[in-house]
Amino acid sequence: MEKQEIISKLPYSKPFQFVDELLDIDENGVEGTYTFDSTLDFYKGHFKDNPITPGVILIEVMAQIGVVCLGIYLLNSTFTKNTSIALTSTEIEFLKPVYPNEKVTVISEKIYFRFGKLKCKVIMKNEKDETVCSGIIAGMILSPPKVSGLSEGEGANTGLK
């Protein structure tokens, strides 16, 4: 699967899509970038006179590049618009702030992918190649079950009235 195709399959749109480019991806990990535009809404109040990127947004960038993009790649053609993605756990250490207009690179290494759960070691670096934050992120990637014998829109016949 091509890198741009993976980005096009992300279940997000601007202003909540935090993936600009995938630099490298294979079955063991992914590397991608995102530049924080200074016009993003959260900079208006975090913090008023010294805007920095909220930690929860840094986690989201790491999750979108490091878990969701890798999950789409691993699932390949079985990933559809009906596939659900949910963050299940994070353990992140924050080391440096990220400011407006900074470009970051996320490097993710797969720990395991089994039973729909993808767990990765992730590192975010700034343009000076300094580690901004790092840790472990896991997520569930679930495809809807295929139920045979039912037509679209038809549920199970329980006999309940």
Q: Would you state the pLDDT for residue 147?
A: 58
CA 122 to chain centre: 11
Per-residue pLDDT at 21? 98
Per DSSP, the three-state class of 63 is: helix
Give the span between the Cα atoms of 25 and 104, in whole angstroms.
Answer: 17
Active centre residues (catalytic): 46
The predicted structure's pLDDT at residue 149: 54
Cis check for the bond before 15: say yes or no (omega within 30 of 0). Answer: yes
Question: 3-state class of 90 per DSSP?
Answer: strand
Residue range 91-137, pLDDT digits in tens: 999 999 999 999 999 999 999 999 989 999 999 999 999 999 999 99
